[in-house]
Amino acid sequence: MGKVRLNVLGLSYSQTQSGAYALVLSEENGKRRIPIIIGGFEAQAIAIQFEGLTPPRPLTHDLFLNFAKSYDVNLLDVQIYKLEDGVFFSKLHCDNGEKEVFIDARTSDSVALALRFGCPIYTTEEILEKAGIVLDLEDEHEGEIPLEKKPESKGDESDQSNIYKQYSLEELNNMLSEAVMNEDYEKASKIRDEINKRE
């Protein structure tokens, strides 16, 4: 049973479950995608790391990273090894220099930790065959994680996307710092997107 490496492709608001997000993982050497429904807090934990935002105090996954480093524990990889009744099962492959252990974990937590440790994410060909889909995604969004709000009316949506265009770069940087300080990572992500567009 060979391992297939996955990359984090994006996050979007779930159209099927209120208050949930779809985490999309992509096959590294292929076109298949695995959408995984996760909660808002888990989506935020993934998005802030992917966006390179630094919270004023360590979040749970940052605390896990700091704790592991303090005791010389390294996360070698994350393995999504089972899909049962629509639920993905994952394990953390850890090493402290003396022994390797596998720790059961939720897939959303596993991905959030993989991003922080910079380790690979793997799944099996069997899971890709069961849950993998081929999506036509716009190239410009590939590799980004937009943490989108729940869709409202078209007028509201365009207002939301244009709201930060009126601010100067200095004002945007100040707003970004304030949003991170207030732990409003969804807002921070949108401000960061606008700053990146200008750079």
65-103 pLDDT, tens per residue?
999 999 999 999 999 999 998 899 999 999 999 999 999
How far apart are the C-alpha atoms of 85 and 74, rounded to whole Å? Answer: 31
0.75 exceeded by the pTM?
Answer: no
CATH number of 3-148, picked from 3.40.1030.10, 3.20.20.110, 3.40.50.620, 3.10.690.10: 3.10.690.10
pLDDT category at 107 given cuts 50, 70, 90 is very high
Token pair, residue 43, equals 């989506």
Token pair, residue 96, equals 């402290």
How far apart are the C-alpha atoms of 132 and 129, rounded to whole Å? Answer: 6
Q: What is the pLDDT of residues 27-59, one digit of tens each?
A: 998 899 999 999 888 998 999 898 888 888 889
Domain boundaries, the chain: 3-148, 153-199
Q: How many CB atoms lie within 10 A of CB 58?
A: 13
